[in-house]
Amino acid sequence: GAVVSQHPSRVICKSGTSVKIECRSLDFQATTMFWYRQFPKKSLMLMATSNEGSKATYEQGVEKDKFLINHASLTLSTLTVTSAHPEDSSFYICSAPSGVNEQFFGPGTRLTVL
Amino acid sequence: DAKTTQPPSMDCAEGRAANLPCNHSTISGNEYVYWYRQIHSQGPQYIIHGLKNNETNEMASLIITEDRKSSTLILPHATLRDTAVYYCIVRVAPGNAGNMLTFGGGTRLMVKP
């Protein structure tokens, strides 16, 4: 199946700093990618839809100025957590659709903000 | 997308069939049933999907009731590596893979030796 990668897989940062997470579709192009957040023992919650060539669409309650999304190319979307705080610590997962049936998920990025 | 209801957890003995139920009583005619699973600290993985006929692939079988209000995912010979959270998701038809997925609570399947 199609492969989606994320980088980094794990990051620890100090409170107040910004962290960039990359999501790449390795063997297919994706005009749309999705960013999810998952807290411990909870389900995935959609944060935003990343659109190549246009602005991202954010879910209700997600601050667009805090979670900056850039869909730089047909194979790359980035999520930047700005001025990170401990409550932003979470597992961030991206996905991209390929073909007509499936979405492929990245392996996730675990963010810990100290 | 229609809401789904799954038991929060299930146990299964290694080598036995794991049958994971899902209720989706408000499913509409153009909505498919999809199953994904998430192994601990990994991204979700697509398993199978169907509309109204039973489906089978190398990973699992999907049984959908005639009224389409519920379905069962069957792992025929569960292994320890099948321990994961299984999500049943109802969404619009294929061809719209670009639509986002809405995850419910899922079922935490524990396969025991």
A45 inside 8 A of chain B by CB: yes
Q: Across the interface, which of B38, B42, B101 has its CB nearest the CB of A103?
A: B101
Residue B94 pLDDT exceeds 60? no
Q: Which residue of A has its CA nearest to B91?
A: A101
Instruction: Give pLDDT, residue B30.
Output: 86
Q: Across the interface, which of A98, A101, A105 has its CB nearest the CB of B44?
A: A105
Instruction: Give pLDDT, residue B66.
Output: 95
pLDDT digits (tens, 9 = 90+) for A41-65: 899 999 999 998 889 999 999 999 9
B5 inside 8 A of chain A by CB: no
Per residue of chain A (114 residues), what is the pLDDT tens digit?
A: 679 999 999 999 999 999 999 999 998 888 899 999 999 989 999 999 999 888 999 999 999 999 999 998 999 999 999 999 999 999 999 999 887 667 899 999 999 999
Structure tokens of A94? 């991206």
Per DSSP, chain B holds a count of helices (H) and strands (E) of 0, 9
Q: Do A105 and A2 form a contact (C-beta atoms < 8 A)?
A: no
pLDDT digits (tens, 9 = 90+) for B22-74: 999 999 988 899 999 999 999 999 999 999 989 999 999 999 999 999 999 99
Q: Which residue of A has its CA nearest to B99?
A: A97
Q: Of A97, A107, A108, A76, which Cα lies nearest the Cα of A2? A: A97
Structure tokens of A16? 């107040």
| Average pLDDT value over all residues in chain A | 93
